[in-house]
């Protein structure tokens, strides 16, 4: 299977404290990888390191065969990242923002029109695309950021708490879009606190605690005979 993301012995320190401690994991094409853990466990730091926003002290990250350290632009060309609370340009309209992202990723005229029409219809944002982002609610901003993430058909989608702020209908559509992407050979690495979603949606799960990856494998392997919630609490208690 194609390796889309490989993290080897990643260590990231903040002021002497290890936020991420020797984390290694691999994500393949078609994987929907759920990353779970308590607040402050190191999820966001790992995700931000994986997309090249954060420097790290030790380890290496490969994205679609490219080293993040040596070829950051080649890596970013195939990644889309969505932070937990996306601050978008309030001074642009929704469509201006999407056009900007499409231009940067060199998405052709026809493709961008089709994709924007499709994704914005599915997430029910079409009518608002002509308005300033500053006028959007939190959920609308989240939807716009999601459309921008899917717009260039990335090989790897890195999402930090993507379901926060979405209405039930948009959350359902997002799950559909995530599955479609993985079916088409892409991979998704996302963090969530909603264990039920992770259990139903993901084929692989990683659990992080105090910066260390304490469990990682297929959803079945990680949860065993119980639910993911039980398994999560048990793993945390035992560690």
Partner 1 sequence: MTDVFLLSKIQLLGLFGINKLIHTKDARTGLKAMGMGIVFLILGAEAVFFSYMISAGYAAIGLVELVPAIFLLLFSLITLVYTLIHSSTTLFGFSDFDIIMSLPVSKSSVIMSRLLTVYLGNLVFGGVVLLPAMVVFMNVTGSPAILWLSVLLIWLLAPLLPMIVSMFIGVVITAISVRFRHKNLVITLLSLIATQGTLALSFSIQSMDMDLLADLGLQLGNAIRHLYPPAALVTAALWKRSALALTGFALLSITASALFVFLLSKVYTNINSALFTQHTRSAYRVTQLNAADPNKALYRRELKLLTSYPVYLLNTCFGSVMMVGSILLLKVFGSRQLSDLLELPGLSEMLQRMAPFFPAIFVTMSSTTAASLNMEGKNRWILNSLPVSTKAVFDSKIMVNLTVLLPAILFSSLILSMTFPFDFINVLMIFITPTVYAVFIAVVGLSINLRFLKYDWKSPQEAVKQSMSVMVTMLIGFAAIAAPVALGLSLPQWNQSITVAATLILAAITVGLYRSLGRFSTKKFLG
- For partner 1, the binding residues (CB under 8 A) are 15, 51-55, 72-77, 79-81, 83, 86-92, 94-96, 99-109, 112-113, 116-117, 120, 126-132, 134-135
| Nearer CB in complex with partner 1: 100/172 | 100
Minimum separation from the CB atom of position 236 to partner 1 (A): 29
Minimum separation from the CB atom of position 134 to partner 1 (A): 6
| Nearer CB in complex with partner 1: 29/132 | 132
| Nearer CB in complex with partner 1: 34/94 | 94
Minimum separation from the CB atom of position 103 to partner 1 (A): 3
Phi, psi of 159 (to 5 degrees): -125, 130
Minimum separation from the CB atom of position 136 to partner 1 (A): 9
| Nearer CB in complex with partner 1: 120/192 | 120
SS (H, E, C) the chain: CCEEEEEEEEEEEECCEEEEEEEEEEEECCCEEEEECCCCCCHHHHHHHHCCCCCCCEEEEEECCEECCCCHHHHHHCEEEECCCCCCCCCCEHHHHHHHHHHHCCCCHHHHHHHHHHHHHHCCCHHHCCCEHHHCCHHHHHHHHHHHHHCCCCCEEEEECCCCCCCHHHHHHHHHHHHHHHHCCCEEEEECCCHHHHHHHCCEEEEEECCEEEEEEEHHHHHCCCCHHHHHHHHHHHC
Minimum separation from the CB atom of position 129 to partner 1 (A): 4
| Nearer CB in complex with partner 1: 87/237 | 87
Minimum separation from the CB atom of position 225 to partner 1 (A): 39
| Nearer CB in complex with partner 1: 107/197 | 107
């Amino acid at each position: 299977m194609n390796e889309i993301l490989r993290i080897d012995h990643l260590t990231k320190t903040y002021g002497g404290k290890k936020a991420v401690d020797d984390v290694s994991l691999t994500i393949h094409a078609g994987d929907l990888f759920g990353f779970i853990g308590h607040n402050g466990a190191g999820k966001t730091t790992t995700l931000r390191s994986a997309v090249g926003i954060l420097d790290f002290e030790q380890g290496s990250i490969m994205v679609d065969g490219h080293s993040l350290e040596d070829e950051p632009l080649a890596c970013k060309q195939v990644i889309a990242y969505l932070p937990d609370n996306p601050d978008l340009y309030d001074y642009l309209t929704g469509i201006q923002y999407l056009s900007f992202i499409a231009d940067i990723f060199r998405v052709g005229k026809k493709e961008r029109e089709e994709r924007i029409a499709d994704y914005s219809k599915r997430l029910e944002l079409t009518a608002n695309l002509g308005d300033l982002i500053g006028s959007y609610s939190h959920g609308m901003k989240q939807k716009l950021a999601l459309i921008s993430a899917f717009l260039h058909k990335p090989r790897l989608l890195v999402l930090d708490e993507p379901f926060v702020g979405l209405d039930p209908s948009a959350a359902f559509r997002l799950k559909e879009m995530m599955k479609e992407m993985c079916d088409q050979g892409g991979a998704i690495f996302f963090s969530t606190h909603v264990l039920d979603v992770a259990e139903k949606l993901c084929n692989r799960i990683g659990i992080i605690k105090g910066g260390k990856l304490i469990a990682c494998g297929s959803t079945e392997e990680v949860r065993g005979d119980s639910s993911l919630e039980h398994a999560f609490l048990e793993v945390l208690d035992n560690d």
